[in-house]
Chains A and B, each alone.
Chain A
C-alpha cells in the first residue's frame, strides 16, 4: 500500500511539477475528479482548468492548459502545453492577451481552420482568470 502519489507535470518547455503528494484534483472533459493513492489506472483528457494537489496538509493550486492525465496506483503524469501556479498568474497580462485573442477570433470567418487554436488559447486564458478570481 503506497501512502503517496508521485505527481509529475510536464510541458513542451520542460517539467513544471515533480512532487510526492497525498491527493490530486483535476478537470477532465467530463468533470472534476480526484485521485488518491491506489487509484485505479486512469487516462483522462484534461480541459483547461484547475489542477490542485495536497502535500503536507497544504493545498497548492495550478492552472493547466488542455492535456492528458495518466495515473496509476503510485504515480500521476500530466502532459499539458502550459501549467502555471495560481500565484504566478499575471492577471493584467492574461486579460490583455485574452482581449487580443477575442479580437482575432472575431476577425476569422466561421469555418476558418485557424479558429480552433485561437479558441484553445482563449480557453487557456479564461481558465487562468477563473482560477485567480477564485477565493
Chain B
C-alpha cells in the first residue's frame, strides 16, 4: 500500500509543476504580444530615420565621420544581449556558445560587454573578463536605456578603443525559432537607399538646416541608437517566444508523465485488489474445508 501512496504523491507533485509551467507559458505569451507591439511601434520611427540617413549620406565617404571610418583590425568588442531570466530553453546557451566560439577563434583580441544576467554569469564562471555589464535593461525596456548604451559604444569607437564593435543577439525568426547571430554595428554600414523610394535627398534644391555635414553628425549616432534598440527589442521578443515554447514542451512532458504514472498507479491498485480477493477466497475455502 505504501507504494500506491508514493505514486499518488508523485502524480500530485507533477500536476503541481504542470500548473506552474502552464501559467508561465501564458505569462510568456502575454509578454511576447507586448514585446511585439513595442517592436511594431518602433518600426516606423526606425524606418523614417533610416530613410532620411540613407538620403543624406548617399554621397558621404567613409572618412566623413568617425563612426564611418574603417580601420585596420587590432581590437574588437562584442556586445552580447542575453536575458535576465532562465527557463527559456536554449535561448541563452546557444548564444553564449556562439559568442564564446567567436572570442576563441578571432584573430584579434576581442573584448566582451553584456546585457542580461545570464551571459554575465556564464562568462564569469568561465573566467572570461566582462568589460561592461549593463544591468536591469530589460526591467523596463525603453529607448533611453538603449540610447545610453549606444552612445557609450559610439564614444568607444570614435576614441579608437576598438576597431570594430558587433552585437550578438537572438533573432526571432518565428515564435518557434530563434537564431543566435553576431552582426557588425561599428563602423556603421549605411542603410541602403531603396529604389522605389521616391524620396531623394541630396540634389540641389533641398534645404538643409544646419548644413549637410552637421546633420550627418547628428544622424549617425541616432542610427547607432536605433540599431541597438532594435536588437534589444528583437532579443526581448525572442526571449519570450523561447520561454513560451519551452514551457509548452514542459507542460506536455508533465502530461505524459502524469499519464504513465496514472497507468502504473491503476495497475498497482488492481494488483492490490486481486491479491486481497485471493486472500478472501483462500480464507473462505479454508473455512469450507
Q: By the criterion CB–CB under 8 Å, are B215 and A79 in contact? A: no
Q: A68-B219, A79-B52 are in contact. Are A45 and B210 (CB under 8 A)?
A: yes
Contacts of B205 in A (CB 8 A): 40-41
Cα distance A61–B186 in the bound complex, in angstroms: 38
Per-residue interface assignment for chain B, residues 131 to 169, with 1 indicating a CB less than 8 Å from any chain A CB and 0 otherwise: 000000000001110011001100100000000000000
CB-CB contacts below 8 Å: B206-226 with A = 206-210, 214-215, 218-219, 222
Contact of A81 among B44, B143, B152, B208 (CB under 8 A): B143
Q: Mark A26-42, 1 if CB is under 8 A from B, else 0.
A: 00111001000000111
Q: Which of A14, A29, A41 contacts B210 (CB 8 A)?
A: A29
- How many B residues, CB 8 Å from partner? 33
Instruction: Give the distance to chain B from A29, nearest Cβ to Cβ, in Å.
Output: 5
A contact residues, range: 20 to 34
Within the complex, the shortest CB–CB distance from B183 to chain A, in Å, comes to: 20
- By a CB distance below 8 angstroms, the chain B residues around A44 are 207-209
Contact of B56 with A by CB under 8 A: yes
Report the separation of the CA atoms of residues A44 and B210 in the bound assembly, to the nearest whole angstrom: 7
Q: Is A12 an interface residue (CB 8 A)?
A: yes
Q: Are B208 and A77 in contact (CB under 8 A)?
A: no
Interface positions of B (Cβ within 8 A of A): 38, 41-42, 44-46, 48-49, 52, 55-56, 142-144, 147-148, 151-152, 155, 199, 201, 205-210, 214-215, 218-219, 222, 229
Interface positions of A (Cβ within 8 A of B)? 8, 10-15, 28-30, 33, 40-45, 68, 70, 72, 77, 79, 81, 113, 116-117
20 A-B pairs besides A28-B209, A43-B56 with CB distance below 8 A are A10-B45, A12-B45, A12-B143, A12-B229, A13-B142, A28-B210, A40-B206, A41-B207, A42-B207, A43-B52, A43-B55, A43-B201, A43-B206, A43-B215, A68-B222, A70-B199, A72-B199, A77-B52, A113-B152, A117-B147
Residue pairs across A and B with Cβ atoms less than 8 A apart, 23 shown, are: A12-B45, A13-B41, A13-B142, A14-B41, A14-B45, A15-B41, A28-B209, A28-B210, A29-B210, A40-B206, A41-B206, A43-B215, A45-B214, A68-B52, A68-B218, A70-B201, A79-B48, A81-B143, A113-B152, A113-B155, A116-B151, A117-B147, A117-B151
